[in-house]
Amino acid sequence: MSTSFYIAKRYLFSKKSLNAINFISSISMLGVFVGSAALVIILSVFNGFESVVLSMYNNFTPEIRIEPATGKTFNPQTAAFKQLRADKRIENYTEVLQERALLRYGDAQYIGLVKGVSEDFFKRKRLDSTLVEGDYRLKENDSTFYAAIGSAVKLYLTVNIHDDFLDLQIFSPRKNAGNSINPADEFMAKAIHPVGVFQIQQAFDESVLVPIEFARNLLEEETNVSSIEIYSKPGEDIDDLQEDIVETLGKDFLVKNRIEQDQQLYKTLNMERWAIFFILTFVVVIAIFNIVGTLTMLVIDKKKDIAILSSIGASTALIRKIFFLEGMMIALVGCIAGMLTGLIFCLAQREFGFIKMGQDSFITDAYPVGLNISDFILVFLTVTLISIIASGISSRLSVNKIYDLKEDL
């Protein structure tokens, strides 16, 4: 154990001649403790919310989506797509035909996205977790079709899925519509009964899910599709599968993973995370810089000790190191204690959910928590870096007149 560390440790736990110094040291340590605990707790809660949002998003969004590089639709019956459908790494292969259309329910109207999906869509795991009402039973036989609507569509149209006598009317422009005397002749109109309501996020909640056969009749599209959505089998490497699909299909198609499908969502989550981190870090900075006042008071209290150490040959660098280590210990003890407290709090919240979000939340009753070891490392490194700066400045400013102190001996 080095001399500077030994003396700094004694100063940390020993009683000072002035009670105010003990009080200021405790306040500094408490500030770092609260800041570190808050960082761990808030980041963990944010991780929990992020997991909830992404789990709902991932339940509805495929791992890989194939779209045409130009145009809106493409033929999925080519040899390349038949080969892709037979790929043993693929667990779910869904054909999608979608287009925006006018939705009418009673006297209310709304422009929404009509999304026709093949039968594999409803074989996806955890899809029912996105339902808030009804079910995804969209097809009873080859001619009886139903729809599942997003929560935004239900809200704007005030849809009652339990009303068996009122259907959802969907209007889409005809492909080769001309200037007709009757404008209604330029639209294809179809009626379908809604049986389910789902809620994910705004982009999805403005859509209506229908069987692809219904969408083909509505959009007058016999063969082509808008996209193909793919889920891989468990354990398969998504990046390798994406690269193979790109190589097979060539430049005529866009092959997107989940991040590429909605880059704005992931950017927003990432920006919010760092914004929260920097705001709380600013609070920690204020708490840690209280160490400057603590060390200044401690130098005044220990000036006779400093004079003695200097008289027996201790250099200015050694004395500065003592108070530098003193400041570091105050900060790191508070940091470690804060992180441990934050960890215990998060584990208790995850296990018992004692802090509730309110009765209006349908996703989860209690605040979700997600623990990541990287958050603890980030908090520790941040506090350590700020402590080094604060302790270094304080020790240099406080111990700058060794010879004046020697004269007081």
pLDDT at residue 246, rounded to an integer? 92
Residue recorded with tokens 């038949």: 82
- Alpha-helical (H) ranges within 14-89 are 19-60, 79-85
0.85 exceeded by pTM: no
Residue recorded with tokens 């009626």: 191
Please work out, in degrees rounded to the nearest 5, the angle formed at the alpha carbon of residue 291 by the alpha carbons of 289 and 296: 120
Q: Mean pLDDT highest for which of 161-175, 258-272, 316-330?
A: 161-175
pLDDT at residue 129, rounded to an integer? 79
Q: Residue ranges of the domains in the chain? A: 3-57+266-407, 63-261
Rg (CA), the chain: 32
Integer Cα distance of 389 and 385 in angstroms: 6
pLDDT at residue 28, rounded to an integer? 77
Confidence of residue 403 (pLDDT cuts 50, 70, 90): very low
Helix (H, G, I), strand (E, B) or coil at 259: helix
Residue recorded with tokens 């009804």: 134
What's the rounded mean pLDDT across residues 246-272? 85
Maximum separation of any 2 CA atoms in the chain, in Å: 108
* Residue 131: pLDDT over 90: no
- Alpha-helical (H) ranges within 312-372 are 316-352
Span 76-112, pLDDT tens digits: 999 999 999 888 999 999 999 999 999 999 899 999 9
Residue recorded with tokens 């939705």: 103
Confidence of residue 398 (pLDDT cuts 50, 70, 90): low
Q: Identify the weakest region by mean pLDDT among 156-160, 276-280, 319-323, 327-331.
A: 319-323
The 10 Å Cβ neighbour count of residue 104 is 17
pLDDT at residue 308, rounded to an integer? 67
* Residue 209: pLDDT over 90: yes
Q: Mean pLDDT highest for which of 60-64, 121-125, 182-186, 289-293?
A: 60-64
For a pLDDT cut of 70, what percent of the chain falls above it? 82
Q: Is residue 80 classed exposed, middle or buried when 0-12, 13-18 and 19+ CB atoms within 10 A define those classes? A: middle
Integer Cα distance of 38 and 43 in angstroms: 8
Q: Mean pLDDT highest for which of 257-266, 280-289, 329-338?
A: 329-338
Helix (H, G, I), strand (E, B) or coil at 360: coil
Helix (H, G, I), strand (E, B) or coil at 135: coil
End-to-end alpha carbon distance in the chain: 28
* Residue 17: pLDDT over 60: no
Helix (H) or strand (E) segment spanning residue 355? none
Integer CA distances (angstroms), 214 to 98, 146, 151, 189, 200, in order: 11, 9, 21, 11, 23
Integer Cα distance of 252 and 71 in angstroms: 10
Q: Is residue 246 classed exposed, middle or buried when 0-12, 13-18 and 19+ CB atoms within 10 A define those classes? A: middle
* Average pLDDT score over the chain: 82
Phi first, then psi, for residue 353 (nearest 5°) are 60, 45
The 10 Å Cβ neighbour count of residue 74 is 22
